[in-house]
Amino acid sequence: MNYPYVTEFRQSLINWFEQEKRDLPWRHTKDPYKIWVSEVMLQQTRVDTVIPYYNRFIESFPTLQLLAEAPQEYLLKHWEGLGYYSRARNLQAGVREVLENYGGIVPDNRHDISKLKGVGPYTAGAILSIAYNKPEHAVDGNVMRVLSRVLNIHDDIAVPKTKKIFEAAVEELIDPAHSSSFNQGLMELGALICTPTSPKCLLCPVRDYCTAFYEGFPEKLPVKSKKTKMKHIYYNVFVCEDSTGRLLMEQRPEEGLLANMWQFPMIEQGEDCIETFTKLYGVQAQEQQEILTFKHIFSHLTWHINSYYMKCTTTLNGQWLTREQIELLPMPVPMLKIWQKIK
């Protein structure tokens, strides 16, 4: 591809970013480890949500070594509430690989950094460009939205191979001397100005080079086909307390959704659900009262939850824990909601 006004486009974007960028904690460092942490946290999560998590995480794990050595439950407790917990486990695995294979220095080239657990093309490009100022593409949803409008690209961004088109475009457009500001500028432009609906075109620093602006329909791009249908599952959650005040808990499997997180027993709703629960866990329920009814939405799955408190006899099934012990366990957001209510 041959783009006109490349130099002007670069300069306008970089100047705007340097003047208007948000003051975010990970922008105060060039440490590739800390930038890596921020990029992993920012996947699927809003900036405002990430900031306190990032600050707390870096305070507890300021170095790769400390993160590598952390017990998984302690790590997941720091991630509690951020969701997509495999990100935390992959980050720790990747950090351990850096210590074992690269002498504790995050690789500064795409070939090596892409070998690390959990580091895909976007994360690799973000670390390389932001920390090392390497002219590497870092294409996320914001970048695809901006460039689809600027360059009039109508390929469906929900199709994985379409990302290659945008990666090639960034490689041609990126300023080799200011790669960090260029890539962050594209991301920031998508976050603040070139938004999915009602883009603020009159405030845009690169509107003079934007095809969609001149054609008058920027919100029609990017083209994105519909997501897969949402699956709905209905659960009853049982908070069981024994005569000593301990509560019945269980740990989720090592693989799959919310792996290794702790929860109150969950039974899929159906006929005789309470009877199924008492048989499965070998408890006798003496009284029961409703706690909360709510739904929790994952990316392709919604849990509909009814939760109940009951006095139970102690059994050998599950783990009976004190409230102080439970407070230290990593729990997913739906369980935290119930926990906060009964505390």
Catalytic residue among 39, 80, 136, 167: 39
Provide CB contacts within 8 A for 327, sequence distance 6+. Answer: none
Judge if the upstream peptide bond of residue 71 is cis by omega within 30 degrees of 0.
no
SS3 82: coil
> What is the rounded (10 degree) CA torsion for 331, 332, 335, 337?
110
Q: What are phi and psi of 267, to 5 degrees?
A: -125, 130
Q: 80 with 74: CB under 8 angstroms?
A: no
Assign residue 213 a region (left: φ > 0; alpha: ψ between -120 and 50; beta: otherwise): alpha
Alpha helices (runs of H) in 257-332, residue ranges in sequence order: 273-281, 323-327
Does the annotation mark 219 as catalytic? Answer: no
Give catalytic residues, as residue numbers: 39
